[in-house]
Amino acid sequence: MKKIVIVDDDPGIRKLVDATLGNKEYQIFQAESGEKAIKITRAEKPDLIIMDIMMPGGMDGFEATRIIKSDPETKNCAIVILSGTGQDAEKEKELAADVKDYFTKPFSPLELIKKVEEVLGQEDFHGNKKPADRICG
């Protein structure tokens, strides 16, 4: 079963993404902050992280993504950004090489499902390429 971490400070967005992906065979974890996302990622080694960028308080999604991608234990985890528009163009450009895609809110649930299936069908946590038709398991 594929593991996905949904990271967003808004519980409504986490619930919407969870419901959007809930009919698939995924084990879903939720984090309300960058710090919690890093803890879950290190413990669970998810196949995909859906990361918000702007989160109040401590660590934002930019910093969490940098930490996850610089850690040898988690660097192969795929990340898809799900965030508001026009938040920080320069930082978003910096992340471009480290993320699989970028969605803005509001987002299309069907497009998100399509992207999740595409990303999870391409490679596993260890970066091994897989056939495109192999999505789960």
User: Quick one: pLDDT at residue 36?
Assistant: 95
User: Check: CATH 3.40.50.10490 for 2-122?
Assistant: no
Q: Is the pLDDT of residue 119 over 70?
A: yes
Quote the mean pLDDT of the chain.
81
- Which residue from 35, 46, 41 is spatially nearest to 1, judged by alpha carbons? 46
Q: Which residue has the higher pLDDT, 104 or 31?
A: 31
Task: State residue 106 phi and psi, 5-degree precision.
Answer: -70, 150
Q: Which residue has the higher pLDDT, 85 or 72?
A: 72
Percent of the chain whose pLDDT exceeds 90: 44
Whether the pTM exceeds 0.85: the reply is no
Mode of pairing for the β-strands spanning 48-51 and 26-31:
unpaired
